[in-house]
Structure 1
Amino acid sequence: MTILMGDLNAKIGSDNSGYEEVMGRQGLGKMNENGEMLADFCAFNNMIIGGSVFSHRRMHKATWVSPDHRTENQIDHICIGRKFTRSMQDVRVQRGAHAVSDHHLVLARTKMKLKKSEVKRSTRTEYNVDFLKDRVTTETFRLTVRNKYEALQDLLDEGNMDIDTQWQQIKEMWTSTCSEVLGRKKYQQKDWISTDTLDKVQVRKEKKELLNRPPPQNPPDITPAEEVLQINCERPSKAEIEKAVHHMKRGKASGPDKIPAEAIKAGIETSTEILHDLFGKIWEQEEIPTEWKEGYLVKLPKKGDMQDCKNYRVIMLLSVPGKVLNRVILDRLKTGVDAKLRDHQAGFRKDRSCTDQIATLRIIVEQSMEWDSSLYINCVDYEKAFDSLDRDTLWKLLQHYGIPDKLISLIRNSYEDMACRVIHAGQLTDSFIVKTGVRQGCLLSPFLFLLAIDWIMKKTT
């Protein structure tokens, strides 16, 4: 709806000859030059002059009175789009309003019935991966992927594609097969305007502020290791990729590329061959596909007031093929770095758990209670731990622990221009850049955070 109103110094008069579609015959005085310009403007923009339509006493039409009260004019107007003519029920002057002005208040009464506006929204797409439990469907899916990959092989062999183009071709191969063989889950459309819609705007704002913390004012002095660890830096082998694919869990939500783990595990031999070629190019160019750098944030309630953003834990839905690459890198890092970590650290380490530490602490507590002795336990809870890590400091820590530059470059590139979108009430917010922290839901994140904690404990104990 378009509404024009103001002090226009336009007298329109009661003669509407030539302007029948723009004004009525209830105006005051005679049309002046400004009045003619207003009428022409309204005609051009399909509007009507409301004060000329409704019949009122003269005192309820005159919007301006001279100081000597001898001259009255109707020079303030409210105009409305012609489409909404029936919505305007009255326009009149309201005398007695206290305002420091020689103009009177002009009121318009409207009655509108708003139509529901259908807008295009970003929603998540999920496929019916349960169909892959059927052997026939799984075999059909595997053969379809194999045939499409063989058709794509000629383009890949030319070697003139960049990383993003090659990934988009591979992504289209998998997603089109999912759409053809599995089909998509159906969701009931919800109203576009609701409290949840308004909440989604607020959630996006809060997450953006939380995930973009300023860097430390006094960054720590971290020296690189004198000797680089003997970690394999060759391109991933098919055996490593196949092992990583086997580690992918079923029943997990897919990332922005919409490729579920079930689609990759449906034909492991073909998937391994596809990813081996893609990972080789990534390894050579040290460049991660742009789409792998975007994540969908899902908020999970912890405790307290659910209206407060701080009372949610957040995980990030990432590309499943990207997770396969991260699994390969993680397996290599763990083998080389494990010997340099403190023995006290049990979490996020191979063949270890915190069970022994918990049992030891429990025995200490029981002994203290039995002997009625004082016991002091210092518990440290890092607020938004994964989100608070400074990345520049993190890259220095990787060098400090002797991780080869090749692997550091790959990890670092995966965080360059990293973007997020928040899932709220089934809808996606606009994308925003994240400049701090490690990704919740990334396989490498616990290991990267572990290095930071290990370094802190070595410095403070």
Structure 2
Amino acid sequence: MTVIQIHAPTSNSDDEEIEQFYQDLEQTINDKAKKDILVIQGDWNAKIGSKESTGWEGTTGDFGVGKTKDRGIMLLEFAKTHHLVVANTLHNHKLSRRTTWHSPDGVTHNQRDYILMDRRFQTGINRPKTRTFKKSDIGSDHDPAMMTFRMRLSKEKKVSHRRAKFDLEKLKNSELAKNTKEEPNQLKILQKCEERRELKKNRFTNNENLDQYRKAKEEVKRAIIKAKDEWVEKQAEDVEQSLAVNNSRKAYNVLKSLTREKIRSKADILGSEVRAAIIKLKRNKAPGFDNLPAKLINCGGEPSVKTLHLLCNRILQTGKWPTQWTQSILIPIPKKKMSKNCSEHRTISLISHPSKVLLTIILNRIKPGIEEILDESQAGFRKDRSTVEQILNLRLLSESQRNHQKNVFLNRL
């Protein structure tokens, strides 16, 4: 809201001074923010008059004072040009609540002070409470005029982030395993490897079986080499396309992935570790930022194990976690009903379920080393251990000291 306080030139001023006043006021209006509600108030030194709304509908009301003068017409023209309404002429108050100026002899009473505001917001004006206040001890021949305005702000619409719901009951259908999509070349190579594995069992029974095994072995080698060449060719095409569209960063990353030496860690994550971690995932838990339910991973079978196995090893080698694995959703839960204070809430954090698989693997790997370091007195958060003995010792010590009327100090680390 922009409020402009003015004092117009008096009746003794010439027309040029009046025109300059309205030009300066118009410039001030143009400088305000367009979204602001405009209110202009003050001593206009003009008379709009009563029952003068004919021809000025929407600009003034019928409840002014006196007769319209030339300065009043200039004021109405200015208000109509800028889509303003004279607020203190809209309600039929008694005369003493409309007049704003009194002559020194107390005989003449006029209305010279007006409050103008944006016409589109006039429904927020409380007309009965927009009036002049008499007997105000302010040492002036003017009475203060007040407008009561109620601003109705529209509520900001909340953007609904609807999360996709998975029909997890369909996972119980064993036929869904057939819908697993794999690359055609990979599928052919796997089929040839399976045929070679079957021929290997009986390769020494006769020469014909041995020849078939050797032939299948060579076919597998050629297929792998061909698939590798096709993959390298595809990477080269990606580099060329990236350079053609001036995407040098993508081209550099592809070349870097092809040329750098890949040092495999001796402690690569095993598929059995991933499988065991997936089994430990608790079902019916809310998903994290990536919207992947734990039940979906549990029922995914071998495809889920293979995918997470490759992903976990990739994270282990590069040291970079997926962005969605590092984000969590904080849910505030009130400790008391209908509580609005932040201190009376606790929060839970929803993290990504696939990240829990890798965290479980890391925890299982560091547990043996931690068990050797921890003291025997440490019982919290340890398997098959309880803090009952420690609590009992503290209670016995405190009771013993109280019996001897001595102070007990507990140092919590």
* TM-score computed with the length of structure 1 as normaliser: 0.50
Deviates more, 1:364-373 or 1:272-281: 364-373
Task: Give 1:34 shift.
Answer: 8.8
Any conservation in 1 of the 2:60–2:85 contact (CA below 8 Å)? yes
Aligned to 1:75: 113
Note the alpha carbon deviations across 1:120-145, whole angstroms, 9 max, x for none: 2455747366x438723x864x666x
Structure showing greater Rg = 2
Q: In the aligned structure 1, how far is the partner of 2:407 from the partner of 2:170?
A: 53
- Report the counterpart of residue 119 of structure 1 in structure 2: 157
Whichever residue aligns with residue 132 of structure 2, its letter is: V
Report the 3-state secondary structure (helix = DSSP H, G, I; strand = E; otherwise coil) of the residue aligned with 1:132: helix
How many residues align structurally?
A: 301
Q: 2:275 aligns with which of 237, 242, 246?
A: 242
Find 1:60's aligned residue among 77, 94, 97: 97
- Asked if the contact 1:297/1:315 (under 8 Å) is kept, the reply is yes
1:186-208 Cα offsets, whole Å, 9 max, x none, are: xxxxxxxxxxxxxxxxxxxxxxx
Question: In the alignment, what sits opposite 1:286?
Answer: 319
* DSSP-derived class of the 1:95 partner: coil
**Secondary structure class of the residue paired with 2:330:** strand
CA RMSD of aligned residues (A): 4.9
Change over 3 Å in CA distance of 1:76–1:380 after alignment to 2: farther
Residue 44 of structure 2 is matched in structure 1 by 9
Q: Does 1:359 align with 2:397?
A: no
Task: State the shift of 1:61 in Å.
Answer: 2.1
State how far apart, in whole Å, the 2-side matches of 1:370 and 1:78 are. 82
Contact 2:43 2:112 in 1 (8 A): no
Q: 1:261–1:320: 8 Å Cα contact kept in structure 2?
A: yes
Cα deviation, residue 266, structure 1: 1.9
2:113 counterpart letter in structure 1: I
Residues 43, 279 of structure 1: alpha-carbon distance in 2 compared, 3 angstrom cutoff = farther
Does 1:331 find its partner at 2:361?
A: no
C-alpha contact (below 8 Å) 1:257/1:319 kept by paired residues: yes
List per-residue Cα deviations over 1:337-380 (Å, max 9, x = no partner). 3322222212223x342x2x413653785799799976987655
> Which residue of 1 is the match for residue 135 of structure 2?
96
Which residue identity does 1:106 align to in structure 2?
Answer: A
Q: Distance in 1 between matches of 2:123 and 2:100?
A: 22
Q: Secondary structure at the match of 2:328?
A: strand
Distance in 2, Cα, partners of 1:379 & 1:313: 27
Greater Cα shift, 84-93 or 54-63? 84-93
Structure 1 378/236 Cα, relative in aligned 2: closer, same or farther at 3 Å? farther
Kept in 2, the 8 Å contact 1:42–1:49? The answer is: no
Q: Which segment is superposed worse, 238-247 or 273-282? A: 273-282
| 2:145 corresponds to 1:106 | yes
Which residue of structure 2 lines up, in the alignment, with residue 21 of structure 1? 58
1:50 corresponds to 2:87 = yes
* Bigger RCO of structures 1 and 2 (CA < 8 A, at least 6 apart): 1
Once the two structures are TM-superposed, the CA of residue 316 in structure 1 deviates from its matched residue by 1.3
| 1:175-186 to 2 correspondences below 5 Å | none
Tell me the SS of whatever aligns to 1:328: helix
> Corresponding residue for 2:378?
345
TM-superposition CA deviations, 1:317-349 (whole Å, max 9, x none): 112222222222222232333322222212223
Measure how far apart 1:261 and its partner are. 0.8
Q: Percent identity?
A: 24
Task: Choose from 351, 358, 363 the match for 1:318.
Answer: 351
Q: Kindly tell me: are residues 364 and 320 of structure 1, through their superposed partners in 2, closer, same or farther at Cα, counting changes over 3 Å?
A: closer
Partner AA of 1:316 in structure 2: S
Q: Could you tell me how far apart the structure 1 residues matched to 2:308 and 2:273 are? A: 11
Secondary structure, counterpart of 1:264 in structure 2: helix
Helix, strand or coil at the partner of 1:4: strand
Q: Write the letter of the residue equivalent to 1:24.
A: G
Structure 1's 366 and 94: CA in aligned 2 closer, same or farther, altered over 3 A?
closer
**In 2, Cα distance between the equivalents of 1:326 and 1:52?**
73
- The gaps in structure 2 that reach 5 residues or longer are 2-36, 187-229, 240-264
Letter in 2 for 1:4: V
Q: Which moved more, 1:284-293 or 1:99-108?
A: 99-108
Flag the 1:143–1:119 CA change in 2: closer, same or farther, 3 A.
farther
Q: Out of 169, 190, 195, which is 1:132 matched to?
A: 169
Q: Which consecutive unaligned segments of at least 5 residues does structure 1 have?
A: 161-231, 382-455, 457-461
